[in-house]
Structure 1
């Protein structure tokens, strides 16, 4: 029997497997980051991997953008126009993020070239998901909805992970005692929990839900299992994305 859900797809996915979401976004690495207890060596090694993730993300978002079918005339309320705007924003954001990494690394003496040529298991798995889904969309065997679910999933996990880290952060007056010198709690965590980032993640969620509604009853019944599997896959990848400390 085909299954169906009531309400928004993103709400359904968030309630699908709370334990796996917790394991993906609440790990000792993040707690130590929030407490200022990550050494500069651990931080710069992880940042070098996060940069590789960002580069893979950029290609994925580009594939999504390249496969949007825009209307012949500009129509601001058309969901494909909104998708195009959002994906352009995603690409601008990730380019800015990469520049931000370099700027902060320079100010705080972090070496982002640590372990060049070596990918963590988390980066490898994210690259696999991005390539499989993005190239599947390019070949016409995967839909844009699935692509947006992956995009939203990785951004939602990232946001909530750093929100979790922020709950452990003591007063800013103690930053000078941080093992990394203060880069995480002064610059990175505020950036990754900012209102701007929250708004961006919420806009992706809105478009995921809009695409879901546009699928129609039959399409939703056939596609539910696909998006659920992708959501669980993102959670599995995110869980190993964070290094053990």
Structure 2
């Protein structure tokens, strides 16, 4: 088989129906067409801000689980590249949260998740989008590689398992890839001839968010993690006596997790009128 046969990311993206459901939603179309009122956008941003908090905690757990090389000669490994990517990701999402707050202030958006966010956790939980709750559960498993057909098994992989950080890396790549492709799809749906002053949100999405979430720089950042995942998988497969069986074992580890993530991403987009 050719080297491209061992590209795990290509295999996962082959689930087209589930992937399109996660990245092509009526909420995104309304956003592209300037039909999202400030209240609807603010509620979604309030959930996305809590997603950032969960993302940060998961990144910290994954960083803590990575075994770095002891030898100076091995200073550029898949593990060190993953550490570099995660550190960049943490800086980027903190910058993103500051952007949320700044844009909300300038465009008159409320990004508080209800009046009781600081005093009543149960009430706050009820205001979360279903997708946020699902993604928080998924992020909670990062850093604990598992051998199961579903995401929530507690049976951990033995320490000698290949690429022990794989599930966590796929989680981060998957959620960033969905975000990138969803907002790129929205950008491509923007009508010609309309202007930001016509938009129900005052132009926040058109002028601030969509350009940021569909930028070439963001695409390269996401693709870099995808290439890292594919390289690590390909190296493992090429060292294996039965390459087909080795790749299947890798796919079996992550495929159900991937589908769980796509379901969460789909549920993260609110229903709109």
Counterpart Cα distance in 2 of 1:84 and 1:133: 14
Counterpart Cα distance in 2 of 1:172 and 1:52: 35
Counterpart Cα distance in 2 of 1:196 and 1:172: 26
Aligned to 1:82: 81
The alpha carbon displacement at 1:136 in A equals: 4.7
The alpha carbon displacement at 1:73 in A equals: 4.2
TM-score, length of structure 1 as denominator length: 0.91
**Deviation readout 1:121-148 (Å, 9 max, x if unpaired):** 11110010110233458x9925311111
Aligned to 2:35: 37
Aligned to 2:156: 141
Root-mean-square deviation (Å): 2.0
Contact 2:69/2:75 (CA < 8 Å) preserved in 1?
no
Q: Return closer, same or farther for 1:207/1:20 CA change in 2, 3 Å cut-off.
A: same
Aligned to 2:98: 99
Q: Note if 1:131 corresponds to 2:146.
A: no
- Aligned to 2:156, what secondary structure does the other structure show? coil
- Aligned to 2:101, what secondary structure does the other structure show? helix
Q: Note if 1:18 corresponds to 2:20.
A: no
Aligned to 1:243: 270
Q: Note if 1:228 corresponds to 2:255.
A: yes
Aligned to 2:229: 208
Counterpart Cα distance in 1 of 2:193 and 2:39: 22
TM-score, length of structure 2 as denominator length: 0.82
Counterpart Cα distance in 1 of 2:156 and 2:51: 24
Q: Name stretches of at least 5 consecutive residues in structure 1 with no aligned partner.
A: none
**Greater Rg by CA:** 2
The structure richer in helix per residue is: 1
Counterpart Cα distance in 2 of 1:191 and 1:103: 14
Contact 1:76/1:82 (CA < 8 Å) preserved in 2?
no
Counterpart Cα distance in 1 of 2:69 and 2:144: 23
Q: Name stretches of at least 5 consecutive residues in structure 2 with no aligned partner.
A: 118-123, 147-153, 158-163
> Where in structure 1 do 4 or more consecutive aligned residues deviate above 4 Å?
73-76
Aligned to 2:121: none
The alpha carbon displacement at 1:114 in A equals: 3.7
The alpha carbon displacement at 1:108 in A equals: 0.8
Contact 2:47/2:113 (CA < 8 Å) preserved in 1?
no
Counterpart Cα distance in 2 of 1:173 and 1:120: 30
Which one of 128, 132, 141 corresponds to residue 119 of structure 1?
128
The alpha carbon displacement at 1:168 in A equals: 1.8
Counterpart Cα distance in 1 of 2:232 and 2:264: 24
The alpha carbon displacement at 1:76 in A equals: 4.8
> Which sits farther off after the overlay, 116-125 or 188-197?
116-125
Count, aligned residues: 239
Aligned to 2:208: 187
